[in-house]
Amino acid sequence: MQNNLGRTEFKGLGFYVPEKVLTNFEIEQMVDTSDEWIYTRTGIKQRHIAAADQATSDLAAVAARRALEKSRLLPTDLDLIIVATATPDTQMPACACLVQQKIGAKNAVAFDIAAACSGFIYGLSVADAYIKSKAYQNVLLIGAETFSRIINWHDRSTCILFGDGAGAALLQYGNGSSGIFNTFLGADGAGAELLTIPAGGSRLPADRESVEKSLHFLQMNGREVYKVAASGMAKAILSALDHAGFTLEDVDFIIPHQANVRIIESLIQKLKIAPEKVFLNLARYGNTSAASIPIALCEAVEDHKVNKGNLVVLVSFGAGLTWGASVIRW
């Protein structure tokens, strides 16, 4: 096991989901599906949807303010803001810059990370490196998404899955035994087409044809993603634990990306762990992509499922393909 060196610690958490709730029963009126079909196959009962005047930076700013309040810091104390998102307000500027302005963090450097559902884990690795290098002291990491804007609401295979929301964490260097022990990351661009938005970038700029063909919406090969997601997350967990000097037996709680209950059940089976050790809030929020893990972590702490001294593993899998896991002593 690693020596008791200083580590990056969580000083404050906050999350926000829009007020509007879209239930499975309402989706029944939009596409050929049913509440029973959605719930039994995904574990989702409802999801939150951003209002017409809300964009990703708006959700992120609320979560950011709540994390700052919990950490008892002012926005001007922040040195760095990282926003993990696949749905920024615009292609430029970065969503993080918009959040910086909204919350008044005038002293903070700001940039985005694009790793889809793995974005928060990727962001933890980046924040951890900056903090340990002493480049920045107070780092705000946010996962935020408005997937409702990139979903084809006529495609029943994807529109049932996703919701909007944001989660934020204030990170600092600490000299105690708590904090991030290790973050393990992986990627495989050979699977890029399994989860993609074909148009809107430099490969296929927006034009009449791309809009008519709905190429600006998310496209997913759900069957193939399912095949690799659980195994990818299991390998990430074991690798992260090994690098940190721990085993599965040492773990008190696992917070996985909330994508699909069947993927999480498969993960539990592969690792042969008790279901009680795995956090689920999927039914209430659906898949909120990069916001999924910080929202779940915040709720797990508030519900006292994660407590001081617990060894916690965060794990995710997403478009790219990307995956990652982080081992944390709370």
Same domain, 187 and 317: yes
d(Cα 167, Cα 145) in Å, to the nearest integer? 9
Q: Which pair of tokens denotes residue 137?
A: 């002291």
Flag whether pLDDT at 301 surpasses 60.
yes
**150 plus 20 within the same structural domain:** yes
Does 285 lie in the same domain as 160?
no
Tell me if 209 sits within 8 A of 147, measured CB to CB: no
Phi and psi for 47 in degrees, rounded to 5?
-150, 160
Asked if the structure places residue 1 within a domain, the reply is no
Whether the bond between 93 and the residue before it is cis, its omega within 30 degrees of 0, is: yes
pLDDT band at 2 (very low <50, low <70, confident <90, very high): very low
Q: What are residue 20's DSSP bridge partners?
A: 49
Whether 138 and 29 share a structural domain: yes
The verdict on residue 321 lying in a domain is yes
* Confidence band, pLDDT 50/70/90 cuts, at residue 11: very high
Q: Are residues 236 and 93 in the same domain?
A: no
Q: Is 274 helix (H, G, I), strand (E, B) or coil?
A: coil
DSSP string, 227-267: HHHHHHHHHHHHHHHHHHT--GGG--EEEE--S-HHHHHHH
Task: Give residue 92's region: left, alpha or beta (phi > 0; psi -120 to 50).
Answer: beta
Render pLDDT for 249-298 as a digit per residue (tens, 0 to 9).
999 999 999 999 999 999 999 999 999 999 999 999 999 999 999 999 99
C-alpha distances out from residue 47 to 69, 79, 147, 163, 284, Å:
26, 33, 11, 5, 6
Q: Are residues 91 and 118 in the same domain?
A: yes
Known catalytic residues are: 117, 257, 287
Domain co-membership, 206 together with 300: yes
User: What is the number of structural domains in the chain?
Assistant: 2
**Residue 2 counted as domain residue:** no
Q: What is the pTM of this model?
A: 0.96
Closest CA to 50 of 164, 218, 167, 166: 164
Give the Cα separation of 230 and 248 in Å (integer).
Answer: 16
Q: Give the pLDDT confidence of 79-133 residue by residue, as tens digits.
A: 999 999 999 999 999 999 999 999 999 999 999 999 999 999 999 999 999 999 9
The predicted structure's pLDDT at residue 123 = 98
Closest CA relative to residue 278, chosen from 268, 291, 292: 268
Residue 18: how many CB atoms within 10 A of its CB?
21
CATH code, domain with 258 = 3.40.47.10
- Per residue in 208-260, pLDDT (tens digit) is 999 999 999 999 998 899 889 999 999 999 999 999 999 999 999 999 999 99
pLDDT tens digits for 29-63?
A: 999 999 999 999 999 999 999 999 999 999 999 99
Helix axis angle, 95-103 relative to 56-71, nearest 10°? Answer: 50
| Residue 151 falls inside a structural domain | yes
Pair 12, 160 in one domain = yes
Q: Which domain holds residue 72?
A: 7-177
Using CA atoms, how far apart are residues 9 and 243, in angstroms rounded to an integer? Answer: 18
Res 177: pLDDT: 85
Other CB atoms within 10 Å distance of the CB of residue 102: 16
* 118 and 247 together in one domain: no
Whether residue 4 has pLDDT greater than 90:
no
Question: Of 107, 142, 177, which residue constitutes the final position of a domain?
Answer: 177
**How confident is the model at residue 3, as a pLDDT?**
46
Phi then psi for 61, rounded to 5 degrees? -65, -40
Residues 119 and 220 reside in one and the same domain: no
The letter for the amino acid at 305 is: K
205 and 108 within one domain = no
Angle between helices 261-271 and 35-42 (to 10 degrees): 30
**Cα separation of 143 and 294, whole Å?**
7
Dump strand ranges (E) for the chain: 7-16, 20-23, 46-49, 80-84, 109-113, 139-146, 164-174, 179-187, 195-196, 219-220, 253-256, 311-318, 322-329
* 303 within a domain of the structure (yes/no): yes
- Does 29 share its domain with 173? yes
